[in-house]
């Protein structure tokens, strides 16, 4: 399946795959899938995550590798989480796994939004639940999916 995906899109999928692959093992476990989707607000039980992994686990190793992930990512809830992961990856310009105030401000300004440091700080104060001054992927997901 990966061979039929345009190169630019495939690179985006690789970036998303890395977000889901929290332990860097090169595959996504049911636990990793469940954790990322729950952080995004998708209620997925451990059994549902296992069933989803099993559905796409073509080699039977209990995890989903990148090629298997390219098929899984077309599922609606997974695709939604993946889109958020792509946005996060774009915001995280230094690739440290967090979005700083400077990265957030630069991204908003690049999109033509005139935003003050105080407004950025107010956003961070709302979204930064661990108080480290930056947004993790999980904090970002909670922030953008909270109504």
Find the CATH number of the domain harbouring 45. Answer: 1.10.238.10
Instruction: Domain count for the chain, please give it.
Output: 2
Same domain as 58, residue 8: yes
Q: What pLDDT sits at residue 1?
A: 56
Q: CA-to-CA distance for 112 and 99, rounded, in angstroms?
A: 19
CB 1 within 8 A of CB 71: yes
- Domain residues for 129? 94-145
State pLDDT tens for residues 20-47: 898 999 999 999 988 877 776 677 788 8
Residue 107 sits in the same domain as residue 139 = yes
Q: Are 82 and 105 contained in the same domain?
A: no
Residues sharing a CB contact under 8 Å with residue 85, sequence separation 6 or more, in sequence order? 15, 16, 19, 20, 36, 137
The residue that leads in pLDDT, 3 or 38, is: 38
**Do residues 65 and 106 both lie within one domain?**
no
| pLDDT for the residue numbered 3 | 59
pLDDT tens profile 116-143: 989 999 999 999 999 999 999 889 988 8
């Amino acid at each position: 399946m990966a061979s039929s995906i345009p190169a630019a899109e495939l690179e985006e999928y690789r970036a998303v795959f890395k977000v889901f692959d929290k332990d860097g093992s090169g595959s996504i476990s049911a636990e990793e899938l469940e954790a990322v989707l729950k952080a995004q607000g998708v209620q997925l039980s451990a059994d549902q995550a296992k069933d989803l992994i099993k559905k796409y686990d073509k080699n039977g190793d209990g995890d989903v590798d990148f090629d298997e992930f390219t098929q899984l990512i077309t599922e609606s809830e997974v695709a939604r989480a993946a889109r958020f992961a792509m946005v996060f990856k774009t915001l995280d310009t230094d690739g440290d796994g967090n979005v700083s105030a400077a990265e957030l401000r630069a991204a908003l300004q690049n999109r033509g939004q005139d935003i003050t440091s105080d407004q950025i700080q107010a956003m961070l104060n709302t979204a930064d639940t661990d108080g480290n001054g930056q947004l993790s992927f999980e904090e970002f997901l909670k922030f953008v999916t909270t109504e």
